[in-house]
Amino acid sequence: KETKDQLIIDAGQKHFGATMCKSCGMIYTASNPEDELQHVQHHHRFLEGIKYAGWKKERVVAEFWDGKIVLVLSHDPSYAIRKVEDVQELVDYELGFQQVVSRCPNRTKTFLFISDEKKVVGCLIAEPIKQAFRVLSEPTGPESPSSKECHRAWQCSDVPEPAICGISRIWVFRLKRRKRIARRLVDTLRNCFMFGCFLSTNEIAFSDPTPDGKLFATKYCNT
Ligand code: ACO
Ligand code: ZN
């Protein structure tokens, strides 16, 4: 493990750091054969996974100048379910999740943001919940634990609060971030999750947010 790290560092010194692939978004060291191989493998799998050919029956729930949002439900045709599974696999890989089986897959709603280039560039997976625990504001100051240690261990209140909808995954393709795609996915979820009502931000909860997810959720819920 140590020698491998050392190799990457050496390569980085000679070539001044990492490259980001302009089509799959992976960051790697082009001068490192192992890294390059890993990129080639990821590249094809990823681009194949997010390819969206268009479906005979698709549930378009929002349309924008740069794409549309398609909703997939558990009883949809197998081609739709397969695409959702492929995308979820890529998302879970990126988030470092182990294969987690959803607790109530038949009530899961998946929203895919399809770009004009016919790619799935955003994904939101939601399920009904009954309660959630509010994330407490982070302790700051010299006594707070190192940022590495609190990577995911946010402090949560132990008082449950009623909630309706849990967001188990939210993801946007690296090269399409900060274009309000996540915001539009959550807006659409709030509008479509329960027929005839627009959920308030108090009624939705983000499960186990990553640092990116927490930054987004904080911003989203305050505006
Ligand atoms: N840093 C700081 N602020 C951010 C960030 C960030 N990384 N991401 C979003 N925000 C805030 C900004 O204020 C932004 O508005 P602005 O661009 O006008 O300043 C606002 O949130 C809205 O952001 P969007 O553009 O809608 O967010 P985006 O489409 O880039 O997607 C997401 C955000 C989904 C978190 C994306 O960064 C991502 O996919 N990250 C990797 C996967 C991940 O960590 N997902 C969350 C897992 S947690 C869970 O699934 C429950
Ligand atoms: Zn690539």
What atom of ligand 1 comes closest to residue 173's alpha carbon? 39
Confidence of residue 11 (pLDDT cuts 50, 70, 90): very low
pLDDT of 152 reads 55
Considering only CA atoms, which residue is closest to atom 34 of ligand 1?
Answer: 171
Q: Render pLDDT for 19-46 as a digit per residue (tens, 0 to 9).
A: 899 999 999 988 889 999 999 999 999 9
Q: Angle, to 10 degrees, between the axis of helix 78-95 and the axis of helix 33-50?
A: 150
What mean pLDDT is predicted for residues 85-101? 85
| CA 160 to centroid of chain Cα atoms | 25
Q: Render pLDDT for 114-158 as a digit per residue (tens, 0 to 9).
A: 999 999 999 999 999 999 988 877 655 555 444 444 455 567 888
Top-confidence residue, 183 or 152? 183
pLDDT of 30 reads 83
**Protein residues placing their CB within 5 Å of the ion ligand 2:** 21, 24, 43
